[in-house]
Amino acid sequence: MDSSSPSLGPPVITTAHLEAFLPAAMDSTVDQGRLEHIQLAPGRFSADLVRIHSGTTRFDWGNYNLPVHAHGDMPADRITLGLVQSAHGDGILNGRGLQHAQLALYTEGSELDYRLATQTRWSALQVDRATLDRLGVHCPPRQCGIVTATPAATSRVAQLSELLVAAASPTAAGDDPSGRDFSVQGMLQGLLAAYATALPQALAAGSHCATGRQRLAVSRARDFLHGHFNEAIRVTDLCAAAGTSVKTLERAFVTLLGVTPQRYLMLARLSHARRMLLTQDRAETTVAAVAYASGCFHLSRFSREYIALFGERPSSTLARTG
């Protein structure tokens, strides 16, 4: 094995299929990341997830049918090499619009702020900085967001990612699990090599981590919201927290998240309520208590909005818990 290659052990592969929006399961989609997800469009959410651990290397992959917003910190001890693919053009990654397939790079502990478009496939390959240095990929200390690689290099990464997911499927093992494991290890090495080829030129072209006023305004408004879920927040409260006018905040939210502050406020409350309904003991809580704790004080409207977004009654969600 090349001395520049990461340490790869027997792969540990897990796969999952979600038939509903499950916040706790979504939060851990990137290994060791601290992410929170909000469903942005109505409908029955579904997702396929794959995770591969092999020595010091981690690979996560997901495929979502509906748009969601993912926000939080990436792993603190590894660099994340990302790929996002969608036939729809309304994805936004750290303030930058996405087109079809693009590569991304997140250094240790950097912030992910991602509006995933409908029918998005994504992958995240995590490696330590020393491995990338040995491969000749020298990442700056703070990097987050899109890196512009050549179409051929991006296509190669996308092809290898999909082949790796196919090789990791339960049916691929057949009667020879050891053969499947060997194939997965080889594809992980190939995927890392593809990134090592694509990234130096992409990094030389500069990063695309937006740090402008719009992102700051949205971040401040979002932080205020998450700190005051059980209060009757108005959009003017979000504007005061962000230090902007209503018009400016609306433009920032629509640009970066694809929804108005008013709509994001409702979606965030509904996702918070769903998280509570799925984790609380139904013998110890009620739908009304969860609605109030999420800042939804009109129960009939809360129920209508919840059904429209998630496709089931709040009481049905609560009935899933013990």
Q: Establish if 248 belongs to a structural domain.
A: yes
Residue 225 has pLDDT above 70, yes or no: yes
Residue 282 confidence (pLDDT):
84
Q: How far apart are CA 142 and CA 262, in angstroms?
A: 32
For residues 215-250, one letter each, b for 16 or more C-beta atoms within 10 angstroms of the residue's C-beta and e for the rest, the string is: bebbbbbbebbeeebeeebebebbbebbebeeeebb
Which of 158-178 are b and which e, b meaning 16 or more Cβ less than 10 Å from the residue's Cβ? bebbeebbebbeeebbeeeee
The per-residue pLDDT for range 37-76, each reduced to its tens digit, is: 999 999 999 999 999 999 889 999 999 999 999 999 999 9
Please say which residue of 169, 204, 239 terminates a domain.
Answer: 204
Provide the 3-class DSSP secondary structure of residue 59. Answer: strand
User: Are 163 and 225 contained in the same domain?
Assistant: no
**pLDDT for the residue numbered 6:** 58
Neighbours of 84 (CB within 10 A): 23
Say if 1 falls within a structural domain: no
- 226 plus 148 within the same structural domain: no
Question: For 285-308, how does the pLDDT look when each residue is reduced to its tens digit (9 = 90+)?
Answer: 999 999 999 999 999 999 999 999
Task: Say yes or no: 35 and 52 in one domain.
Answer: yes
Least confident of 88-102, 147-161, 201-215: 201-215
Span of 22-26, 95-99, 159-163 with lowest mean pLDDT: 95-99
Q: What are the residues whose beta carbons fall under 8 Å from the beta carbon of 206, sequence distance 6 or more?
A: none
DSSP 143-168: -EEEE---HHHHHHHHHHHHHHHHHH
The pLDDT, as a whole number, for residue 230 is 85
Whether 271 and 174 map to the same domain: the answer is no
Tell me what pLDDT residue 174 has.
66
Is residue 37 domain-shared with residue 54, that is, in the same domain?
yes
- Taking the C-alpha atoms of residue 252 and residue 109, their distance in angstroms, rounded to an integer, is 25
Number of domains in the chain: 2
pLDDT at 7: 58
Q: How far is CA 302 from CA 39, 222, 267, 318, in A?
A: 16, 20, 11, 14
The answer to whether residues 230 and 250 belong to one domain is: yes
Q: What does the mean pLDDT of the chain come to?
A: 89
Residue reference for tokens 């309304």: 90
Q: How far apart are CA 131 and CA 56, in angstroms?
A: 10
225/219 Cα distance (integer angstroms): 10
Q: Is residue 2 included in any domain, yes or no?
A: no
pLDDT confidence of 5, banded at 50, 70, 90? low
The residues facing 114 across adjacent strands are 70, 93
Q: Are residues 298 and 169 in the same domain?
A: no
97 with 195, same domain: the answer is yes
Asked, for residue 222, whether it belongs to a domain, the answer is yes
Q: Which residue has the higher pLDDT, 28 or 120?
A: 120
* Residue 134 domain boundaries: 12-204
**pLDDT-derived band at 98, boundaries 50, 70, 90:** confident
Is there a single domain that holds both residue 107 and residue 225?
no
Locate tokens 């290898």: which residue?
160
Which among 204, 227, 253 is the end of a domain?
Answer: 204
Calpha distance 318→146 (Å, rounded): 39
Query: Taking 60 as the threshold, does the pLDDT of residue 3 lie above it?
Result: no
Model pTM score = 0.88
Task: Tell me the average pLDDT across 258-268.
Answer: 93
- Lowest mean per-residue pLDDT among 26-35, 206-215, 241-250: 206-215
Within this chain, do residues 71 and 177 fall inside the same structural domain, yes or no?
yes
Residues 254 and 108 in one domain: no
How many whole angstroms from its chain centre is CA 295?
A: 25
Instruction: Look up residue 168 and give its two tokens.
Output: 């990791």
pLDDT over 50 at 254, yes or no: yes
Of 160, 187, 204, which closes a domain?
204
Which helix or strand (DSSP H or E) is residue 251 part of? helix 246-257
Domain for residue 160, yes or no? yes
